[in-house]
Amino acid sequence: MKVLVTGVKGQLGHDVVNELEKRGHTAVGVDIEEMDITDFASVEKTLTAVSPEAVIHCAAWTAVDAAEDAENQEKVHLVNAIGTENIAKMCKHLDIACMYISTDYVFNGQGTDSWKPDCKDYAPLNVYGQSKLDGELAVSGLLSKYFIVRIAWVFGLNGNNFIKTMLKVGASHDKLTVVNDQIGTPTYTFDLARLLVDMIETDKYGYYHATNEGGFISWYDFATAIFAEAVALGHSEYDSGHLTVAPVTTAEYGISKAARPFNSRLDKHKLVENGFTPLPTWQDALKRYLKEIL
CB 110 within 8 A of CB 263: yes
Q: Which of 100, 105, 128, 289 is catalytic?
A: 128
Is residue 128 flagged as an active site residue?
yes
Residue 21: in which H helix or E strand, if any? helix 11-22
CB 199 within 8 A of CB 268: no
User: Strand 154-155 and strand 97-103: pairing?
Assistant: unpaired
- Residues 27 and 15: their CA atoms lie apart, in Å, by 11
Amino acid, res. 30 = V
Is residue 113 classed exposed, middle or buried when 0-12, 13-18 and 19+ CB atoms within 10 A define those classes?
exposed
**What is the sign, positive or negative, of the torsion defined by CA atoms of 155, 156, 159, 160?**
positive
CB 6 within 8 A of CB 22: no
Catalytic positions: 128
